[in-house]
A and B are shown apart, each in its own frame.
Chain A
């Protein structure tokens, strides 16, 4: 975090504290259990606070106030007004471009970062209007206007679940995925089977050799095969059972594994380049 950035955040924090002081009567009302509109969870997790502005002709709401991690808040976010009250949204010029968009689609302001830009709307009908800033909605930049006395209220914090945003759905090609899974699965199983067979063969040969060597050693020591000699001596050097020349050794198992690796690499290349890179939709041509 740079110094400037830190100062901005500190300033934001100070602003938040200041706003909390201004809205002190709100907090006091809360502690006394005063009724406030139930925004149905719309403002859960959003900064910006609440203001009971009943009795006022005009309410100002800052757009781009400190909150929600940067200047991504409406302040006050939740307001309670009388019918006929005009709400004026005033841009602070902070936090980039913002707008005011009605969740129900009845109004939408320009998208701007201009300090001092205003957008206003007079609410005649009773009810709750939910709005948000389109670029910063997912960060919690949301607000709500409750109009009139005929709105649901709560005496403590509002309930409701956290609104969630539907994540972007990738258009996955299940056919390609299935084919790839089958091919790579079969390759994997084949490789595992080869490895297991090779391993078992080696183990069998080794144990046969070891038994033969043990029997030989026992015979040399004059002990009956199968009984344990009483004294442990240094391991006797045994002659190699079989000596082969360099080119007589044929590591077919290793060769098979390498062929399998090459096949996997070639297939992955084909899928990556020809199917994924070249085969999908529009292509960069310049």
Chain B
């Protein structure tokens, strides 16, 4: 089969493009440190949060700059997050544990790649580093019912010395 030299050029170019895509993804996970969300959060009884951390959701200090935030998503709010913001200190590494009390929801920090599905019976675990004080929106991005469009919340990153124990 005779292949025109122009065709050879764009065959090679498309292969280079594919290799380039794979290379950038590799760069993202190795050099930039972006991780995929895994199932390490485990499972939970969706109708009973007794002694799971979700019976008293909020932000807790673990040690050093490490914090954990338990968030319950339900129709149509995040607890905490919606009626009062999730407060975390600047310069902290926060592991979010998010679960649903009713139907499938989403937990996304707007304009960032922090985005996880929230499924009843499962705990979505996602770790985020907050460097600077600021405010971020949270959205539910899985249609969860008539009030889905109103399901949003807020994360407030406060200066480290102003943090007073989460949102509770």
Instruction: Return the CB mask of B1-38 against A: 1 if under 8 Å, else 0.
Output: 01011100110011001001100110010001111110
* Contact status of A285 and B34, CB under 8 A, knowing A96-B74, A111-B83, A134-B82: yes
In the bound complex, how far is the Cα of B146 from the Cα of A260, in angstroms?
44
Q: Which of A135, A247, A249, A251 contacts B76 (CB 8 A)?
A: A135
Q: In the complex, what residues of B have CB within 8 A of residue A284's CB?
A: 34-37, 113-114, 126-128
Q: Which of B75, B76, B111, B131 contacts A171 (CB 8 A)?
A: B111
Q: B83–A278 contact, CB under 8 A? A: no
Interface size on A, residues (CB 8 A): 39
Interface of B is mostly: mixed
Which chain B residue shows the least CB distance to A270? B24
Interface size on B, residues (CB 8 A): 50
Which chain A residue shows the least CB distance to B36? A284
In the bound complex, how far is the Cα of B25 from the Cα of A277, in angstroms?
11
Q: How far is the CB of A199 from chain B (nearest CB, A)?
A: 19
B-facing residues in A232-286 (Cβ within 8 Å): 246-247, 249-251, 254-255, 258, 262, 265-266, 269, 273-274, 277-278, 280-286
Q: In the complex, what residues of A have CB within 8 A of residue B122's CB?
A: none
Q: B93–A285 contact, CB under 8 A? A: yes
B-facing residues in A155-171 (Cβ within 8 Å): 165, 168, 170-171
Q: B77–A135 contact, CB under 8 A? A: yes
Q: How far is the CB of A72 from chain B (nearest CB, A)?
A: 8
Q: B2–A246 contact, CB under 8 A? A: yes
Q: A283–B114 contact, CB under 8 A? A: yes
Q: Which of B2, B102, B113 contacts A277 (CB 8 A)?
A: B113
Which chain A residue shows the least CB distance to B150? A138
Q: Which of B17, B25, B35, B83 contacts A285 (CB 8 A)?
A: B35
A214 part of interface (Cβ distance < 8 Å)? no
B167 part of interface (Cβ distance < 8 Å)? no
Q: In the complex, what residues of B have CB within 8 A of residue A134's CB?
A: 77, 82-83
Which among B33, B147, B150 has the highest number of chain A CB atoms within 10 Å? B147
Q: A282–B112 contact, CB under 8 A? A: yes
Q: A254–B127 contact, CB under 8 A? A: no
Q: A137–B150 contact, CB under 8 A? A: yes
Q: How far is the CB of A6 from chain B (nearest CB, A)?
A: 16
Instruction: Return the CB mask of B68-102 against A: 1 if under 8 Å, else 0.
Output: 00000011110100110000000001010000001
Which chain A residue shows the least CB distance to B5? A247
Q: B129–A285 contact, CB under 8 A? A: yes
B-facing residues in A33-74 (Cβ within 8 Å): 69-70, 72
Q: In the complex, what residues of A have CB within 8 A of residue B76's CB?
A: 135-136, 138-139
Interface residue ranges, A against B (CB under 8 Å): 69-70, 72, 96-97, 111, 134-139, 165, 168, 170-171, 246-247, 249-251, 254-255, 258, 262, 265-266, 269, 273-274, 277-278, 280-286
Query: 5 shortest A-B CB distances, which residue pairs?
Result: A286-B127, A138-B150, A281-B112, A135-B77, A282-B128
What 9 new A-B contacts, CB under 8 Å, besides A273-B25, A280-B112, A285-B128? A136-B147, A138-B150, A139-B147, A139-B150, A170-B137, A278-B113, A282-B130, A284-B36, A284-B113
Interface residue ranges, B against A (CB under 8 Å): 2, 4-6, 9-10, 13-14, 17, 20-21, 24-25, 28, 32-37, 74-77, 79, 82-83, 93, 95, 102, 109-114, 126-131, 136-137, 139, 146-147, 149-150, 152
Q: List 17 A-B contacts (CB under 8 A).
A: A97-B74, A111-B79, A135-B75, A170-B137, A249-B4, A254-B6, A255-B9, A258-B10, A262-B14, A266-B20, A269-B21, A277-B28, A278-B28, A281-B109, A284-B35, A284-B37, A284-B126
